[in-house]
Structure 1
Amino acid sequence: MTYLISIIGLLVVFVLALIASNNRKGIKVKPIILMVVIQAILGYVLLNTKVGETIIRSIANVFNKLLEYAASGVGFVFGDVINNGGYSFFLKVLMPIVFISVLIGILQYIKVLPFFMRIIGFLLSKVNGMGRLESYNAIASLMVGQSEVFITVKKQLGKLPKHRLYTLCASAMSTVSMSIVGAYMTMIEPKYVVTALVLNLFGGFIIASIINPYEVDPKEDIIEVQAGEKQSFFEMLGEYILDGFKVAVIVGAMLIGFVALMACIDNVFDLVFGVTFQHILGYIFAPVAFLMGVPWNEAVQAGGIMATKLVTNEFVAMQELTKIHTFTPKTLGIISVFVVSFANFSSIGIIAGAVKGLNEEKGNTVARFGLKLLYGATLVSVLSAIIVSLIL
């Protein structure tokens, strides 16, 4: 019965994407079916096989080691707080972003990261039926982040039509940056983080292929990566250290604001209506959670986590998820995969602002289709969660 519900959920996702499509006759069915099959195979391998277990353990070990290295730097600066036994989300979860940002900068500087992004993007374009630029951008979003990625394709932004710009932005919102993957792994199981990264990569193209189908002229499908000014190695290190710190501070500031606001709204609703705002949102999102494969007796609570992620961000949702110890392992896996993405209202402003900083006209275009962007990215998260529900 649960499998039947999940299959119905898949059909609902495709129908909802089809409703928002701007060119239903242009939808290519074959690449979509192929990518769904690839999602299912990769998800099964990662979650249900010894090979997948080994891959995830290896990735988790790498990030655990990176977090240990980061902790040595954090401990040097904030040693008294840590030595006195105090736990700080900012120090233990967000500060390691600075170190991982530095590693990304080094891999960028020695040209290793751009090489892999080009190769994987080229291979991906053979599967998704889209352009090489779109495929490169999806990999780049995963590696360098949802706002930084547009710097790498700065030369093309002014030439891109609205439909191609939508796909680039959809990739940026559907994935997450490697710089904060380590932070996620401190809150939810690494296997769900890794699985979500892989599934969302393909899911972004699946949903975009339905909502926003188009043909790419091979002559226009040229990747001109913006190299930027030549920096010395230590100039680059300084820049990425500060960039990582900015990300950590921004995420911390957003958490302070969103968590406080949610607590305030919850309290007001509880005083006036006798029920919290998050509980109300839970009932609204419960049918979606149910179609994702969550049992109905857990759907309201799961729906509350989903709604929290949408209206605030994934960090707040993950924090809420860590407080719940009554979910079955399957429900925990489904919701964990759902929350690993940048699909929330604040991302609309982040992406539009990043593009506008490089090209004002295109930034205004992104702002106009912002809600449609969020709609598609949320469907990607739902799709990934349903695939996981069929596997677990």
Structure 2
Amino acid sequence: MFTTLNAQSALGLIVIVAVCWLLSEDRKRFPWRLALGAVAVQSTLVLALFAIPGSERLLSAISGAVAGLAAATSRGTQFVFGYLAGGDQPYAVTNDGALFTFAFQVLPLILVISALSALLWHWKILKWITLGFGLLFQRTMGLGGASALAVAANIFLGMIESPIVIRAYLDKLTRSELFLMMTVGLSTVAGSTMVAYAAILSPVMLNAAGHVLVASIIAAPAGVLLARVIVPETPGQGGAHADYDSALKYDSAIDAIVKGTSDGLMVVLNISAVLIVFVSLVALTNLMMGGLWLFDGPVTVERLLGWVFMPVAWLTGVEWAEAGKAGWLLGVKLTLTEFVAFIELGGIPVGDISDRTRMLMTYALCGFANIGSVGIMVTGLSVLMPDRRQEVLSLIWKALFAGFLATLMAASVVGLMPDAIFG
């Protein structure tokens, strides 16, 4: 049954595409077929995982895998950090909740998943899965081989690792293809952080792992569409060929584990540094605005973000009564990274917001489109393609905008679906 909330999501979908069309470099070349194909691919992927008979078994398997990874990581973390990581406590515990420490319970998971991802890539398991998605995007959305492979890689790898997969083709990408790669990189998340987000949400959300996985997958075609709308491909250009070879290689299984761990460590350090700096800057801003008072409370960055993004959250299909809190989460994601936003979402007790709002925000937050990622992407791409650094700089803020909207589009597509299919 089509409800008012479904209609909100439909309106949000239209508004998102319309805004990107207004910013298009060539409004006469709107990709109608791509628009229909992107929405169809997103809807099909959502229905395939949540609506087909037996899908609950797959969701249960995904959730079990995440729980197993978290438990195994906990053993390794406790071996190194002891009681600080939740091991046997040397004193009486009166508040079990206080034992959770982000540095010891979440960040180590990124190290393990990064090493495991590298190993699966070396064994060609992750590589063939990526190629499968690449063929899907190539056939349904008309992407060139290199672009399709980069888009597929972004679902499982990071926004810097995925360009390495097509490193041999980076100099052949057109401006539109480069923008597409950047946008999709900011629209999705890496497999290592994906598992961490699922672990954060699992205590308060049913099938959290399945939702986070689908969120990163369906944000990819959304990013493709919005990138093509803003920077259309010139007819006769693009379509750089990509074969089954890749610049991302490891010499052995041990080499994959070691290099994967090293790469994961850099991700952990970047996340830690960005969180410390941005959370501190927000706290400093709140202190500076401490004397300001508006309506029934002091003016804070969090309240301002809630007001600004309130209508944006409503357009995804969130009830107006909860749009303020949802808008605040979107603002936190943009300014403080999606990691902080997921922690805040996971910290909202069951019953304080509806299951629908929590689900839609999971999709809307699941992407690297935040201010901190701008510096990371510019730095990484400048190393991989130094001759095109100025081109990257000219496109980065557009890519951030499109990537942010792509996650909102993913939430809107999910909001169009009947709530009953999610259980």
Provide the TM-score with structure 2 as the length reference: 0.87
Report the residue type matching 1:253 in the other structure.
Answer: A
Using the TM superposition, give the Cα deviation of residue 173 of structure 1 relative to its aligned residue in structure 2, in angstroms: 1.0
Give me the whole-angstrom Cα distance separating, in 2, the residues matched to 1:98 and 1:294: 34
> 2: CA distance between counterparts of 1:107 and 1:163?
31
1:33 and 1:230 map into 2 onto residues whose CA distance is 39
Contact 1:343 1:374 survives alignment (8 Å):
yes
**Which range is displaced more, 318-327 or 135-144?**
318-327
Q: What is aligned with 1:357?
A: 383
Aligned to 1:113: 126
Q: Distance in 1 between matches of 2:145 and 2:376?
A: 24
Determine helix, strand or coil for the equivalent of 1:104.
Answer: helix
- 8 Å CA contact retained: 2:227, 2:399: no
Q: Distance in 1 between matches of 2:80 and 2:250?
A: 31
- Name which of 382, 385, 392 aligns with 2:408: 382
2:258 pairs with one of 232, 238, 242: 238
Give yes or no for the alignment of 1:144 onto 2:157: yes
Partner of 2:166: 153
- Which piece of structure 1 moves more, 60-69 or 162-171? 60-69
- Listed one character per residue, the Cα deviations across residues 71-104 of structure 1 (whole Å, up to 9, x for unaligned) are 2211111123122263211111110111111111
In 2, the alpha carbon distance for the partners of 1:135 and 1:174 equals 15
Change (3 A) 1:223 1:165: farther
Q: Report the counterpart of residue 93 of structure 2 in structure 1.
A: none
Separation in structure 2 between the aligned mates of residue 100 and residue 58 of structure 1, nearest angstrom? 17
Q: CA deviation at 1:13?
A: 0.9
Residue 171 (str. 1) matches residue 190 (str. 2): no
Question: Shift in Å at residue 223 of structure 1?
Answer: 4.2
Distance 2:326 2:278 in 1: 19
User: Cα gap change, 1:191/1:109 in structure 2, threshold over 3 Å: closer, same or farther?
Assistant: closer
Superposed CA RMSD in Å reads 2.1
**Which one of 286, 291, 305 corresponds to residue 266 of structure 1?**
286
Report how far residue 243 of structure 1 moved.
1.4
1:125·1:135 contact (CA, 8 Å) conserved in 2?
yes
TM-score if structure 1 supplies the norm length?
0.93
Give secondary structure in 2 for the equivalent of 1:25.
coil
Q: Distance in 2 between matches of 1:231 and 1:191?
A: 32
- After superposing the two structures, state which structure 1 stretch, 260-269 or 125-134, moved more: 260-269
Which residue number corresponds to residue 286 of structure 1? 310
Is the 8 Å Cα contact of residues 124 and 135 (structure 1) preserved in structure 2? yes
Alignment of 1:321-336 (within 5 A): 321-325=345-349, 326-336=352-362
Query: What are the equivalent positions in structure 2 for 1:200-279 lying under 5 Å apart?
Result: 200-214=219-233, 215=235, 220-223=240-243, 225-227=245-247, 231-273=251-293, 274-279=298-303
Q: Distance in 2 between matches of 1:46 and 1:107?
A: 23
Deviations 1:268-301 (A, max 9, x none): 3243342212101111111111111111111111
Query: Which residue number in structure 2 is paired with residue 299 of structure 1?
Result: 323
Which stretch shifts more, 280-289 or 54-63?
Answer: 54-63
Q: Give 1:304 shift.
A: 0.8
- Structure 1 unaligned regions, length at least 5: none
Farther off after superposition, 263-272 or 28-37: 263-272
Structure 1 contact 17–207 (Cα < 8 Å) conserved: yes
The CA deviation string for residues 41-73 of structure 1, in whole angstroms up to 9 with x for no partner, is: 332443455533322221121122122222221
With over 3 angstroms needed to count, the CA separation of the structure-2 counterparts of 1:256 and 1:32, relative to structure 1, is: same
Residue 376 of structure 1 deviates from its aligned partner by 0.7
Do residues 194 (structure 1) and 213 (structure 2) align? yes
Using a 3 Å threshold, how does the CA distance of structure 1 residues 236 and 216 change in structure 2: closer, same or farther?
farther
- 8 Å Cα contact 2:154-2:189 kept in structure 1: yes
Letter paired with 1:222:
A
- Cα displacement (A) at 1:225: 4.6
Question: Structure 1 CA distance, aligned partners of 2:59 and 2:343?
Answer: 22
Q: Which moved more, 1:305-314 or 1:149-158?
A: 149-158
Residue 189 of structure 2 contacts residue 367 of structure 2 at CA under 8 Å; is this kept in 1? yes
Q: Which moved more, 1:289-298 or 1:44-53?
A: 44-53
Native 8 Å contact 2:7 2:416 kept in 1? no
Residues 4 and 219 of structure 1: CA distance in aligned 2, closer, same or farther (over 3 Å):
closer
Answer with 30-39 or 175-184: which moved more. Answer: 30-39
Q: Tell me how far 1:217 sits from its aligned partner.
A: 5.0
Q: What per-residue deviation string (whole Å, max 9, x for no partner) do you get for residues 126-146 of structure 1?
A: 001221211110111222211
The 8 Å contact of residues 21 and 30 in structure 2, kept in 1 or not, is answered as no
Identity fraction in percent: 27
Q: Which residue of 2 aligns with 1:40?
A: 43
Moved more, 123-132 or 1-10: 1-10
> Which structure 2 segments of 5+ residues have no match?
90-95, 202-207
Q: Is the 8 A contact 1:3 1:390 kept in 2?
A: yes
Q: 1:343 aligned to 2:366? A: no
- Which is worse superposed, 279-288 or 149-158? 149-158
Give CA deviations for 1:229-284 in whole Å, capped at 9, x if unaligned. Answer: 76344333222112112212221222222222222323332433422121011111
**Distance in 2, Cα, partners of 1:183 & 1:4:** 32
SS at 2:54 equivalent: helix
| Matched letter for residue 277 of structure 2 | G
Q: Secondary structure at the match of 1:186?
A: helix
Deviations for 1:3-34, whole angstroms, at most 9, x for unmatched residues? 22222211111110111212233333123212
Letter in 1 for 2:11: I
Q: Is the 8 A contact 1:349 1:367 kept in 2?
A: no
Q: Match of 2:225, as an amino acid?
A: I
